[in-house]
Amino acid sequence: MRTRMPAQSDLTPPDVTDIEAVIRPFLALEGPLLPMLHALQEAYGYVPESAYAPLCAALNITRAELKGVLSFYHDFRTRPSGKHVLKICRAEACQAMGATAMADRLLKKLGLEWHGTTANGAVTVEPVYCLGLCACAPAAMVDGKVIGRVGDARLDTVLAEVGA
């Protein structure tokens, strides 16, 4: 299994040969696009634009179709993330417990939109649609670790911990 690489904002995007090596094992699958995208994100931390042409050629799809899939699935990144990733649940149970307003306050405080990264590269804030922690809503996740009953104060602590 590949290890997720750190944020690559200052690295050269992977070249086509490397991209093709990542997607090749999935060519024989039925419905290979999502496994390919997951593999690319796992390899690089995001789906680099340099992968678009090889993906479209391999699957005989248009760039518009590919971008539609990338924008439909919120888990796929199209640019490198910050050093840490904070996900805030935006699904119903968390919404009912104030997650929307809490997220709005957080984003405003950081001066970010969803999927944005702080200027120092410390954290990227992303939406997620249910973390399976509905009974402890509102829920969040930091670098894969879930946090229940999160509020402004807890988020402030998280931001301090990740250096945002």
Closest CA to 61 of 34, 21, 25: 34
Closest CA to 85 of 108, 112, 115: 115
H/E run at residue 123: strand 123-128
Q: In what order do the strands lie in the sheet with 84-89?
A: 123-128, 84-89, 140-142, 145-147
Query: Pick from 66, 131, 141, 159: which binds ligand FES (CB under 6 A)?
Result: 131
> Which CB, 59 or 130, lies closer to ligand FES?
130
Residues 49 and 39: beta-carbon distance below 8 Å:
no
Mask of contacts with ligand FES, 63-102, x by CB under 6 A? Answer: --------------------------x-xxxx--------
Contact between 137 and ligand FES per CB under 6 A: yes
Query: Pick from 78, 130, 154, 162: which binds ligand FES (CB under 6 A)?
Result: 130
The residue whose two tokens read 């200027």 is 119
130 is in an annotated binding site: yes
- Using the rule CB under 6 A, give the single segment among 39-47, 53-61, 117-125, 129-137 that binds ligand FES: 129-137
Contact between 134 and ligand FES per CB under 6 A: yes
Q: How many residues does the chain have?
A: 164
Contacts to ligand FES by CB under 6 A = 89, 91-94, 130-134, 137, 139
